[in-house]
A and B are shown apart, each in its own frame.
Chain A
Amino acid sequence: MPAGIKTAKGFIGPLGDDLPSLIPILVGLIIFFSSFTFAFNAFDKRNSDLASDRAVLEVARVLQSNGYIVGVEDFERLCASLNIAEVQYLAGITNAFTAPNGSRQINPFNLEFHKMPALDGSRQKLSCLAQGMDPDFELSPAFVKDKRLLLKVFPVVVEEDKIVKPMHLVVAAWK
């Protein structure tokens, strides 16, 4: 390098000369990769939420079947046929809106499912839990604190003592 250039005013070397232009390039790269990561996370979360929404509708569709529940055994058969891995769920039949003394509300943390006689004579709840869950499981606010809770309700009829009673299928699902 000629000696005159080294002593030129403002010259701080081949890389140093480009230093001011490197700053906006680095800022641009940081902005790009940050927004790329944000978008990727947003897509991922949205896909996960949509998969959960679809899964809860699928749980409800299987448990409703043709909308006519014949008895405890019929409901248990529908429950056993469920093979949904995307969400955990607690579902059941309630007459909260249709019984004369019903509470006319659905509280996911205090779900009261309808009981009816099974073929063996015992009275059993029309409820269904995701595979592998504790049969005595109950939803609590602490349990769903860091989870996304989905609640869907659909009308069904339940045949009990040859009387066709309108009731509701409640599906509470979380991920």
Chain B
Amino acid sequence: MQRQRAQRAQRAERGQRGQAAITDALFFLVIITGLSSFLYFVANGYGNSVAAQLSRQFSMDYSTAALKTILYSSTPRNPNQNLYDPNAEIDHLLAFVKEDYADDAQIDLITQKVLYENVRDILAPIADSYDYVFYLAKSNVSSLDSPYLYVLMHFSKTTAVATGRTSKFTPGQPPHEDLICNVPLQATGEPPLKADMISRLINTVGDSAQSQGNLILMEQAPGEDPIQVSAFAELILWQATMLDPEVFNYVDWGCKPVDDLFSSLATGSTGAP
């Protein structure tokens, strides 16, 4: 009788041990599954920050190389010729711009077109995926005046259509647009772009690559000696994104599409915009 009771107790104890063993194994499986999921996510995200850093490095390198190329390039004295024309008289692009500016402290429309074509060609390989702004500006200008002498902007046109909780982006027609901005307002004759407006735009576009080169321009008031004016050329590029209409719009920035602006040159007008 006593022996049977002992056997029953032993069987019950073995059953509990069996349950404990399988519970331990299931806990082990849960821990392994968690660990494997963690490894999977770590493996998928591994190197993303380095890849982003390399992408930023490419943008920086491109921006620096492009600005150097713009500032070093030659251009024909006659804008109707090209650099490969054996009869063309050649000058430095920067000298061409400085000479034009020294005349009347403005960059004439024909020079703006030459500058635009150079910048457009140099940035053409990345123009589909990057937006950019290139400008020439005077240093040390009061915050009330516009420091910008020439502003070229290339941006991707996008339309956002909100569908429920998500937005769908569709490329505009045409997908990209080139603008010359800071064109003086017809009402006041004043250029509208103030010093902080480009900075505000750059703060909204995410990562951007900026390169700057210093220039010396000449200004001469009637009857006075010419004076040197500090200026700079800057190129800022960023991966194409939708621009905030509160920060950038054609009217506030005084922007005109290049085709519209330069169409008058075909009829022979070369005056300032």
Q: A residues bordering B, Cβ < 8 Å? A: 2, 4-5, 8-9, 11, 17-18, 20-25, 27-29, 31-32, 34-36, 38-39, 42-43, 46-47, 49-50, 53-54, 57, 60-61, 64, 66-68, 97-100, 104, 106, 152-157, 162-166, 168
Tell me whether B74 and A153 are in contact (CB under 8 A): no
Asked whether A104 and B61 contact (CB < 8 A) given A21-B24, A32-B32, A39-B43, the answer is no
Residue B167 at the chain A interface, CB threshold 8 Å: no
Tell me whether A42 and B11 are in contact (CB under 8 A): no
**A53, B121: Cα distance in complex, Å:** 25
Residues of B near A18 (CB, < 8 A) are 18, 21
Tell me whether A20 and B54 are in contact (CB under 8 A): no
A104–chain B nearest beta-carbon distance, Å? 7
Chain B interface residue count, Cβ-Cβ cutoff 8 angstroms: 53
Residues of A near B51 (CB, < 8 A) are 50, 53
Choose the segment among B34-42, B107-115, B238-246, B253-261 that binds chain A (4+ C-beta atoms closer than 8 Å): B34-42
**A38, B24: Cα distance in complex, Å:** 26
* Residues of A contacting B: mostly: helix
Q: B residues bordering A, Cβ < 8 Å? A: 3, 7, 10-11, 14, 17-18, 21-22, 24-26, 28-29, 31-33, 35-36, 39-40, 42-44, 46-47, 50-51, 54, 57-58, 61-62, 65-66, 68-70, 72-74, 82-84, 90, 92, 118, 121-126
- Other-chain contact of A24, B28, B58, B66, B84 (Cβ < 8 Å): B28
Tell me whether B69 and A67 are in contact (CB under 8 A): yes
Tell me whether B125 and A168 are in contact (CB under 8 A): yes
Tell me whether B40 and A5 are in contact (CB under 8 A): no
Residues of B near A27 (CB, < 8 A) are 29
Asked whether A28 and B28 contact (CB < 8 A) given A46-B47, A61-B61, A99-B84, the answer is yes
**A68, B233: Cα distance in complex, Å:** 19
Asked whether A28 and B32 contact (CB < 8 A) given A39-B40, A97-B124, A99-B84, the answer is yes
- Other-chain contact of B40, A38, A54, A104, A162 (Cβ < 8 Å): A38
A173–chain B nearest beta-carbon distance, Å? 13
A115–chain B nearest beta-carbon distance, Å? 13
Tell me whether A35 and B69 are in contact (CB under 8 A): no
Residues of A near B47 (CB, < 8 A) are 46-47, 49-50
**A99, B124: Cα distance in complex, Å:** 12
Tell me whether A5 and B10 are in contact (CB under 8 A): yes
Residues of A near B61 (CB, < 8 A) are 57, 60-61, 154
Can you list 16 A-B pairs, Cβ within 8 angstroms, ordered by A?
Answer: A8-B11, A21-B18, A24-B25, A32-B32, A35-B35, A67-B68, A67-B72, A97-B121, A153-B125, A154-B61, A155-B62, A155-B122, A162-B90, A164-B73, A166-B72, A166-B73
Tell me whether B65 and A29 are in contact (CB under 8 A): no
Residues of A near B65 (CB, < 8 A) are 64, 67, 154-156
Residues of A near B126 (CB, < 8 A) are 153
